[in-house]
Structure 1
């Protein structure tokens, strides 16, 4: 796997994870509003919290991929210079 591919994968993972965090936060906010159907998510707050933790870990893992790719690219540039 080349560095740019790893960087792209990491950034894609970051974007997906951040979208998931936002959705989970929205589900948590809407979980207690069952009296207004347009605001209710139909999810249990425990399920939404679990999804939030999973997405948080996915974002952290993707950030490490981006950081590793950036360090590798920096090393390659330093070596070539």
Structure 2
């Protein structure tokens, strides 16, 4: 492997991690904001929305909190992937600098 290839792999890891972080952040932002499609009365304040119906039709009284767990875990995992990819780029950069200093 060349230094250029290693740098590219590190940068690709950073890009992919950023995309996955954005996905997880969007899921976190949307958690708890989805209501029943037919519950206009709840939106207008005519009824108190104490539970929401999941896509499986089962009532969920957690207020969407359970939907936050996986995106938060994904966000933490992607943070670690991002950090590891950044370390790869830093190490390749230091190695390249050392090689240039040795050549000079």
TM-score class, shorter-chain normalisation, is: 0.7 to 0.9
TM-score for both structures, normalised by structure 2:
0.69
Question: Aligned pair 1:52/2:75, yes or no?
Answer: yes
Q: Give the structure 2 partner of residue 79 of structure 1.
A: 102
What RMSD over aligned residues (CA atoms) do the two structures have, in Å?
A: 1.8
Residue by residue over 1:31-73, the C-alpha shift from the partner in whole angstroms, topping out at 9 and shown as x without a partner, is: 1111287xxxx88110110110111010000000000000000
Q: Which runs of 5+ in 2 are unaligned?
A: 38-54, 56-65
Taking the TM superposition and a 5 Å limit, the aligned residue runs for 1:1-81 are: 1-35=1-35, 44-81=67-104
Q: Which runs of 5+ in 1 are unaligned?
A: none
- Aligned residues, how many? 77
TM-score for both structures, normalised by structure 1:
0.87
